[in-house]
Amino acid sequence: MNTVIFRTIAPLIVAIMLMFSVYVCLRGHNEPGGGFIGGLIAASALAIWGMATGVETARKALRVDPLALAGAGVFAAALSGLASVFTGSPFMTSIWLYLDLGETSVPLSTPMIFDIGVYFVVLGTITSIALALQSGEES
Amino acid sequence: MPLVQRFSAPFSGWLLALVPAAIFVFLLQFIGPVAGGQTVATAIDWVPAYGLKLSFLIDGLSLTFALTISGVGALIVLYAPAYLKGHPHLGRFMGFMLAFMGAMLGLVLADSMLALFAFWELTSVTSFLLIGFDHSRQAARRAAIQALVITNIGGMALLVGAILVRQLTGSWEISALGSPAGEPLYGLVLACFLAAAFTKSAQVPFHFWLPNAMEAPTPVSAFLHSATMVQAGVYLLARLSPALGGTAARSTILLVFGGATLIWEALGALRQTDLKQMLAQTTIASLGLLVMLIGLGSETAIAAVIVYFVAHAFYKAALFMVVGAIDHEAGTRDITALGGLADRMPLTFIGAALAALSMFGLPFTLGFFAKEEIYAGLSDGPRQDIFALSVLVAGNALLGAVGLLVAIKPFLGAEVTTPKAAHEAPIAMLAGPLVLGVAGVVAAVMTDWFGTSVLEPGATAIMGEPVTSHLTLMINPASIALWLSVLTRGLAVLVYQQAATIRTLLRRASSVLWTADRVFDAVMFGLIRFAGAVTRTLHHGRLELYLVTVFAMLALALFVPLLALGGIDALLPISDLGDWSARLVWPDLQPYEWAVALLAVVGLGAVLVARNRLVAIVSLGIQGTAVALIFLLFGAPDLAFTQFMVEVLSVVIPALVMTRLRLDERDHRPFEDLARDGTLALVCGAGVSLALMVVLSGTLDTRLSDFFTATSVPIAHGANIVNVIPVDYRGFDTLGEISVVMGAGIAILALLQRKKAMPDKPAQARKAAS
């Protein structure tokens, strides 16, 4: 599996997949996509990275434990729901904020943060499982 | 609490005692209004959607209990740090104690049945923590679990009873409770509440947990297991008297069980040589006495309940603290190894003597009134109570004797060498017994005040109708009650003198009898064995059998509803179709659609014919990809997208797992297994197809999808409904789901790590797994 071709192409594929995953995650509210599918794409990218360069290199490149990413995701999702407390509405009432940047308007919202949280949970969980399985394969 | 403890170590008792003392002072202001016939009620909305309120009520009964709890509590909180001086977990201990006190106050002040239940369970939990405080000892752990199990059985009964009463009378509030007497379910309601009260207040046959609970440090025994928590059962019976009372069944049961408890445990107390165990068993006997009095239910009997409760809380808590002080200073609490301590611990002796005289029932103590009222309650009742009368006289005599034994024996007589050279206890440990002993006398001397401010409102609350006090310090030689009291005391002195002989006799008799505790052990052990057997049956560690079970259940879940709803024919009326063969037309599909369908079939065929496991997994991926393409072609891009990714990962991950499992490359299942698995697969497939066809044949309820389509953009600011639903409309569900995803990830990692920790010992790993 660990051929020269694969190792050469892998960084390119991984970079494109990661960028694409962010794009898919962010556009989810209006077009096909979302945090779950984005997270799956990113997790696949990291799995490929692990296969191509070895688990230890992949872990170093990530800098944080993937499971910590998952935890941060759950935390962010829960926090995004708490934001509505300050407006006096029930838990998880969404809040929208439209940022005007000259020509275009960027919608920011608590559901977006929530979706990003979902992205990280899926990314973190699947990556940590995949990397753990791969490290077993090497030994 | 531990923080307060750390920063104020030498004074923590004095500082923390301010909390209960402040509550006590706060509650004092209610004595006047409550004596004047008022009740104070307050409520907080709890679950407004269900009309549940956290309601509280202060009337004579709850005020008497609350004052006792906070007053005795203050003295105990003062006492405990001195008793446990230098213990590393003292801060934790004090935290538990105050938590218990809060729960107990909530219990007696609660007016809502559900709040009562919640506080009831909280007292059980804090009691569990306190009994098991010294958790490094096996006996303490066992006692804690036993107390928790027994009192929680009662807690469950209480909940059932509360719900039943709510269904019958339509109210959660105890003060608004109608009487369910006469209803067909009355027996069940009564049984539930009696079970709750009997387990909490350690009545026969649930009496055995309380002596074991003496494993707790002495302050706990003094507070929880004599003055307050175990009285919760008595409180419940008293509180529900107006609603449940007046039936022959109730009074008979209470009289029989209370009487049995009284005699059995009073004898049990005489059997003991450990001072603390003696007190524990007299506590159970006193609880039995209170239960009997509630069972009698006459006006004087109820008045006696209030007086006896207060008197008992005072002298029993004081005696426990005295025993703790003796244990602390002399190093033993074995009655046969103690004597002549009066010179060395004079103040402790005064406290002990005052408490014991009240227990013995001498005039000018609250105990005297208690006894007078008990006998008065019987002599003005019907004469059939002769049985109850003799039980009470005998029980009181035995209890009085134990009181004398505990308070007199260690202090008087020849001095005995004790393990530690005894000297006076510190002031914090003396305050409790002295204050409570003096309070017992003061309350008795202020007869009229006690009668109108404590007794009358308390008894009125239990009876549900006004009660007048006739307490007096005057001795009336014409009353039967007086002569019964004299008889009781005479018997008590007699028993006291013969204590050693009686103890030997009882010990000989009880060596064959004492078994309720062992029954509990047998039941618990059986439960654990049963759980082990069930686990071994279900959790056998053979993966393929797990999968078979899961899919067999899936098949059942698919077919049982189909058949239960009238069979396939009722849902998909094939007969209505007429000539169904004419309906079977060649589907009109585009060539590329045919290609995708063909791809799925080829993938499936490859799975079936593949000899190599890895090839089979990849082939399954082909089939999944074809399904994703179908989603894409028929207008579900989101679904298709996700399906693609899931297919990729579900090829990669099983392939990685395969390499770790070190399986054979090929599948060597015997033919029977293949047949079983194949049949299951076909049945499940047919079930899913049928279920889908049934769903599609009906008319779809489009209310939800209409709602989402209409509101997605205006209120949720998103055009992609498939995504807006999980992150916005149903965000809370999703939050739960992602937590589960992460939890599953952690579990899988834990399994992988464990395997890594012992890679070459599969036998051991298998053993640990089963």
Residue B751 in 3-state DSSP? helix
Residue A86's pLDDT band, with cuts at 50, 70 and 90, is confident
Pick the CATH number of B543-769 from 3.30.70.1140, 3.40.50.180, 3.90.550.10, 1.20.120.1200: 1.20.120.1200
Nearest to B649 among A35, A44, A92 (CB): A44
Mean pLDDT of B93-118: 91
Residue B144 near residue B210 (C-beta atoms within 8 A): no
- The partner residues of A109 in beta bridges, in order of sequence, read A96
The count of other CB atoms within 10 Å of the CB of residue B523 is 11
Q: For residue B56, what is the enclosing H or E element? A: strand B52-58
User: Chain B closest CA to A105's CA: distance in Å?
Assistant: 14
For the four alpha carbons of B98, B350, B68 and B309, in that order, the dihedral sign comes to: positive
Structure tokens at B700: 């779809």
Give the residue among B508, B484, B509, B517 at the shortest CA–CA distance from B391. B484
Burial annotation B132-171 (CB, 10 A radius, 16+ → b, else e): bbbeeeeebebbbbbbbbbbbbbbebbbbbbbbbeebbee
Peptide bond into B242 cis (omega under 30): no
Closest CA of chain B from A91, distance in Å: 9
Q: Residue B89's pLDDT band (boundaries 50, 70, 90)?
A: confident
Residue B677 tokens read as: 């698995």
User: Model confidence at B761, in pLDDT bands (50, 70, 90)?
Assistant: very low
Residue B664 neighbours by CB distance under 10 Å = 9
Sign of dihedral through CA atoms B733, B735, B739, B744? positive
* B129-169 pLDDT, tens digit each: 999 998 888 889 999 999 999 999 999 999 999 998 888 88
Q: How do residues B275-301 score in pLDDT, each as one tens digit?
A: 898 899 899 999 999 998 888 888 888
Q: Is the ipTM of this complex over 0.95?
A: no
- Coil, helix or strand at residue B636: coil
Instruction: For residue B599, give the nearest of B632, B618, B624, B617 by alpha carbon.
Output: B624
User: Sign of dihedral through CA atoms B671, B676, B681, B683?
Assistant: positive
Interface test with A, best of B617, B723, B760 (most A CBs within 10 A): B723
The pLDDT confidence band at residue B769, using thresholds 50, 70 and 90, is: very low
The pLDDT confidence band at residue B581, using thresholds 50, 70 and 90, is low
Lookup: tokens for B658 = 């395969």
Mean pLDDT of B585-600: 83
- Distance between alpha carbon B538 and the CA centroid of its chain, in Å? 29
Taking CA–CA distances from A43, the nearest residue in chain B reads B649
Contact B33, B40 (CB under 8 A): yes
DSSP string, B451-477: IIIIIHHHHHHHHSS-------S---T
CB within 8 Å: A40 and B724: no
pLDDT on residue B767: 44
Burial (CB count within 10 angstroms: exposed 0-12, middle 13-18, buried 19+), residue B542: exposed
Supply angle C-alpha B713, B715, B719, rounded to 5.
20
The residue length of chain B stands at 770
Q: Report the chain A residue with the minimal C-alpha distance to residue B640.
A: A32
Cβ distance B551 to B680 under 8 Å? yes
pLDDT confidence of residue B379: 65
Instruction: Give me the pLDDT at residue B231, please.
Output: 92
DSSP E strands, B113-175: none
> Each residue of B430-470: pLDDT tens digit?
888 899 888 888 888 888 888 888 888 888 888 877 777 77
Residue B419: pLDDT above 70? yes
Rounded Cα distance, B684 and B555, in Å:
5
B638 versus B56: which is more confidently predicted? Answer: B56
pLDDT at B1: 54
Cα gap B742→B747, rounded to integer Å: 9
Q: Is B62 helix (H, G, I), strand (E, B) or coil?
A: helix
The token pair at B332 is 């033993």
User: pLDDT tens digits, residue range B459-513?
Assistant: 888 887 777 777 776 666 667 777 888 888 888 888 888 888 888 888 777 765 5
Please name the residue of chain B whose CA is at the shortest distance from the CA of residue A107. B717
* Cα B437 to Cα B360: distance, rounded to the nearest angstrom: 13
Using a CB-CB cut-off of 8 Å, the residues of chain B touching A91 are 732
Ordered by start, the domain boundaries in chain B are: 260-497, 543-769
B467 dihedral zone (left: phi>0; alpha: psi -120 to 50; beta):
beta
A71: chain B residues, CB-CB within 8 Å:
742
What span, in angstroms and rounded, lies between the C-alpha atoms of B241 and B243? 5
Mean pLDDT of B251-259: 89
Helix axes B248-271, B186-200, angle to 10 degrees: 20
| Angle value at C-alpha B232, between B441 and B137, nearest 5 degrees | 95
CB B456 within 8 A of CB B467: yes
Query: Which residue type occupies B652?
Result: V
Give chain B's mean pLDDT: 84
**pLDDT band at residue B382 under the 50/70/90 scheme:** low
Nearest-CA residue of chain B relative to A77? B735
Tokens of B254: 């209470």
CA distances from residue B170 to A100, B74, B162, B174, B178 in whole angstroms, order as listed = 58, 39, 11, 11, 9
Give the one of B735, B746, B752 whose C-beta lies nearest to A136's C-beta: B752
3-state SS record for B537-596: HHCCCCHHHHHHHHHHHHHHHHHHHHHHCCHHHHHCCHHHHCCHHHHCCCCCCCHHHHHH
Cα of first residue to Cα of last residue in chain A, in angstroms, is: 16
Q: Are B641 and A122 within 8 A, CB to CB? A: no
**Which is it for strands B52-58 and A96-101: parallel, antiparallel or unpaired?**
unpaired
Beta strands B40-47; B52-58: pairing state: antiparallel
Measured between beta carbons, the chain A residues lying within 8 angstroms of B750 are none
Tokens (6 digits) for B163: 């719900």
| C-alpha span between A126 and B16 (Å, rounded) | 51
How far away is chain A from the Cα of B693, in angstroms, using its nearest Cα? 28
The verdict on a CB contact (< 8 Å) between A40 and B649 is yes
Torsion sign, CA atoms B637, B640, B645, B648: negative
Going from the C-alpha of B14 to that of each of B5, B95, B361, the distances in angstroms are 11, 15, 32
Compute the distance between CA of residue A124 and CA of residue B749 in angstroms, rounded to an integer.
12
Compute the nearest-CA separation of A5 from chain B (Å).
19
**pLDDT one-digit tens code per residue, B714-758:** 887 888 888 888 888 888 899 999 999 999 999 988 888 776 555
The three-class DSSP label of residue B502 is helix
Distance CA B236, CA B162 (A): 12
Nearest-CB residue to B732 (from A36, A92, A133): A92
Banded model confidence at residue B770, pLDDT cuts 50, 70, 90: very low
- Write the DSSP string, A38-106: HHHHHHHHHHHHHHHH-HHHHHHHH-S-HHHHHHHHHHHHHHHHHGGGGGTPPTT---EEEEEETTEEE
Contacts of B735 in chain A (CB under 8 A): 74, 77-78, 81, 92, 114
Rounded Cα distance between B462 and B65, Å, is 13
